[in-house]
Structure 1
Amino acid sequence: MSTRKSGIPTLLELHKPRRVARTALVVPFKESSRQCLKRLAEYEPPATPPYPRSQSAAVLVALFVGRWGDIYVLLSRRSASLSSYAGDTALPGGRVDKEDATLEETAIGLPRDKRRVPLLCILPPFLARSHLIVTPVVVLITDPTLRPILNAPEVDTLFSHPLASFLHDRAPFPLPSASPFLPDTALDDVANAAPSQFHEQDEKYAGPPPPRINPTQYHTFHDMEWGPTKVRIHSFLTGRESSGTKPIAGLTASILLEVAQIGYGTAPEGFEVDAPGQAGRRERIAWEMNRAPRFIEALNREEIHWDWKREERREREKRLRASGEPVKGDKRYKSRL
């Protein structure tokens, strides 16, 4: 596998085997899966401000239809030998290079074959704790003969997870159960497989450590201070924790939660996605653009002239109005004086 000139290896490439079986399994296409892909293909993201290219990245949300007609997403487990984020569960992708003509090229690591890997949609950017603006690129793998090529130094394994399972707090696989006949340490290997926080590189913004993973609970979350408000951090078990694979958590979980909500046209059952009063991504990004030295330097270096203070104020006022709180300048605000 090739390494990107930015120094960040591509995590996934696809190739077509020379020999193809003459008989192919006919996949039963569920109506819910058909509607999910239709909604994703019809999704149009809102216009976004100009973000600094040097602080931008893209990740690939590669979907495919499983043998029983359900939609799955392709995930990678980072190599256990890496010095940072070893064993983390992540989406393939990397930072934007100068040579990248499109975000699809950044996410997949090579020009996309539009026939075999059609683009479904591009989501609005997410904010990573490492001060990167991360754009998810959602594609559908339609050719069953495509096989992933692992970048062995970076990735131990590739595996899949059902997309619909991000909308429930019940596991799509059997969970280990606490038993009075098992010692207290029986599940420690699973419980200690806590995810790294957003691939953090700046201790100043590191925040509290993630809570201990409950190996008998598929979905967990905790709220942490980040920017103008608290932010909800989600974690989903993969069913592979006993072998060292970490849960789907943080940024990866947030991205897949949004893909699932758009695709299936519904909110999750059993839990709220956001913390109470949580600021939207656009407000949080503007908040960081106004304060984080790394973003400020990149904006000046790339000569991006955008009124981020106005952007932050506008998004904050939208959030306050939506929650029923008074906003300075409104009649309700003046009536309270």
Structure 2
Amino acid sequence: MAALSPASKRALANLRAFTSPPTNYYKCPLTRRAAVLILLFADRKGDLRVVLTIRSAGLKSYAGQAALPGGKADTLQETPFMTARREAFEEIGLPMSDHRLPTGYEVEHLTELPANLAMTELGVRPCVAFLKTPSPSPRNQNPDAARDILPKLDAKEVAAVFTAPFYNLLREKDIDPKTRSTVPGEWYKGSWHSWHETAWRMHQFFVPVTPATVFLATTKLRPARAAEESPETTGASMPASGQPKKPMPGKPSQSSLQPSLPRSFYTTASDTLQQPRYRVFGMTARILVDCAQVAYGEVPEYEHNSHFGDEDLMDRLLKIGRLTPIRKEGDILTREVMTKAAKAKM
């Protein structure tokens, strides 16, 4: 296997040792179950990178947005990892069994993280896996996971596949000095917003891409229609109760609560795939932040919600009869619903 840096070895060990608390995922009906795959691999320096996609412009939801490979469960018997692997196969061509991978490659299932609640009221279970890269051999003298595995994407669902530096997800700026000086734009932007009077941290990462870290489909990305840009249909996660953590010592306060995010925030540009950086935000960003904290045992440099996943919120919503098998038109989580959920006994 390709050499891992000491930090990467510790990160993988921490993820293997992580045991997720009891989940409400299995209490959700089939129509409310979904899973995503956090696929990690080592680059040539031995540092971990994570695989992400830009969703096709033709999709009904989250069109043109960055996402983790994933989707809804097919059956009640399908585990979150089964769902995540099946969707990764359909979207980016990652084989569902090791014997179909290129020689020497293996996928190790590391752990599952607490479920998150999407604004579409789906329980989303993040599944973390590590793609082991083989040592150099006569048949493959320069193994490269991104090159050998990722280019097989389905243009109907995915416009591009790209990778991001995993540890950098805990930092406010690009760690690589060359990237900071040569790639326009900044790595991180974040702000507190109100969601039914609850403080919710919106993370935005702007991932620099190069020919070696992005693979494009043959179709071009078109702007999403206005109906697909609504906050109600984005991958942004619901905030659970709780207040933002205090700013770190020596850092200016960023906790001034701003209004709810406007619809324009969710709009994707028509030239997204030509940008030097791809934006990762909403639930996808929050899941990655949680995963990086577990892996590296560090808190982010920036402010963030203190809760981990949305298990508590899901439990309370289930107790008041939400997350039912059939989603009714116009059925949204209003302030009244959240107030009722807050009073539900755990």
TM-score computed with the length of structure 2 as normaliser: 0.61
Question: Matches of 2:60 and 2:309 in 1, distance apart?
Answer: 33
Aligned equivalent of 1:274, options 305, 308, 332: 305
Larger Rg: 1
- SS of the aligned residue for 2:208 comes to coil
Q: Which residue of 2 aligns with 1:335?
A: none
1:236 to 2:239 alignment: no
- SS of the aligned residue for 2:132 comes to coil
Q: Which residue of 1 aligns with 2:161?
A: 158
Instruction: Between 67-76 and 154-163, report the one with greater CA deviation.
Output: 154-163
Checking the alignment, whether the CA contact within 8 Å between 2:313 and 2:341 is kept in structure 1 is no
Q: Which residue of 2 aligns with 1:42?
A: 17
Deviations 1:102-136 (A, max 9, x none): 21110011684368111100111001111100000
Q: Which residue of 2 aligns with 1:54?
A: 31
Checking the alignment, whether the CA contact within 8 Å between 2:115 and 2:309 is kept in structure 1 is no
Aligned equivalent of 1:70, options 27, 47, 53: 47
- SS of the aligned residue for 2:106 comes to coil
- SS of the aligned residue for 1:151 comes to coil
Deviations 1:248-293 (A, max 9, x none): 1011101110110000011112x12117xx7972333234445685
Shift of 1:296: 3.7
1:113 to 2:134 alignment: no
Aligned equivalent of 1:131, options 108, 121, 140: 121
Instruction: Between 215-224 and 34-43, report the one with greater CA deviation.
Output: 215-224
Query: Relative contact order, CA 8 A, sep 6+: which one is greater?
Result: 2
Distance 1:279 1:237, change over 3 A: closer
1:33 to 2:23 alignment: no
Where structure 2 has 5 or more consecutive residues not aligned to the other structure, the ranges are: 90-94, 99-104, 135-142, 210-271, 328-339
Question: Matches of 2:58 and 2:326 in 1, distance apart?
Answer: 32
Question: Matches of 1:42 and 1:285 in 2, distance apart?
Answer: 25
Question: Matches of 2:197 and 2:317 in 1, distance apart?
Answer: 9
Count the aligned residue pairs. 241
Shift of 1:81: 4.5
Question: Matches of 2:159 and 2:320 in 1, distance apart?
Answer: 37
Q: Which residue of 2 aligns with 1:147?
A: 149
Deviations 1:277-326 (A, max 9, x none): x7972333234445685x14559xxxxxxxxx8996556xxxxxxxxxxx
Shift of 1:236: 0.4
Q: Which amino acid aligns with 2:274?
A: S
Question: Matches of 2:200 and 2:317 in 1, distance apart?
Answer: 14
Q: Spell out the pairing of 1:75-224 with structure 2 (5 A cutoff).
A: 75-82=52-59, 84-98=61-75, 101-109=78-86, 112-113=96-97, 116-144=106-134, 147-148=149-150, 149-172=152-175, 174-175=179-180, 216-224=185-193
Distance 1:91 1:313, change over 3 A: same
Question: Matches of 1:227 and 1:298 in 2, distance apart?
Answer: 24
1:284 to 2:313 alignment: yes
What percentage of aligned pairs have identical amino acids?
31
Checking the alignment, whether the CA contact within 8 Å between 1:176 and 1:216 is kept in structure 2 is no
Aligned equivalent of 2:295, options 235, 254, 263: 263
Distance 1:112 1:99, change over 3 A: farther
Deviations 1:147-175 (A, max 9, x none): 23201111122111111011100124535
Question: Matches of 1:235 and 1:292 in 2, distance apart?
Answer: 33
Q: Which amino acid aligns with 1:32?
A: A
Question: Matches of 1:232 and 1:292 in 2, distance apart?
Answer: 27
Q: Which residue of 1 aligns with 2:334?
A: none
Question: Matches of 1:227 and 1:127 in 2, distance apart?
Answer: 16
- SS of the aligned residue for 2:64 comes to coil
Question: Matches of 2:319 and 2:23 in 1, distance apart?
Answer: 16
Checking the alignment, whether the CA contact within 8 Å between 1:228 and 1:284 is kept in structure 2 is no
Distance 1:282 1:82, change over 3 A: closer
Instruction: Between 134-143 and 98-107, report the one with greater CA deviation.
Output: 98-107
- SS of the aligned residue for 1:139 comes to strand
Where structure 1 has 5 or more consecutive residues not aligned to the other structure, the ranges are: 1-25, 178-189, 191-214, 300-308, 316-337
Question: Matches of 2:76 and 2:345 in 1, distance apart?
Answer: 34
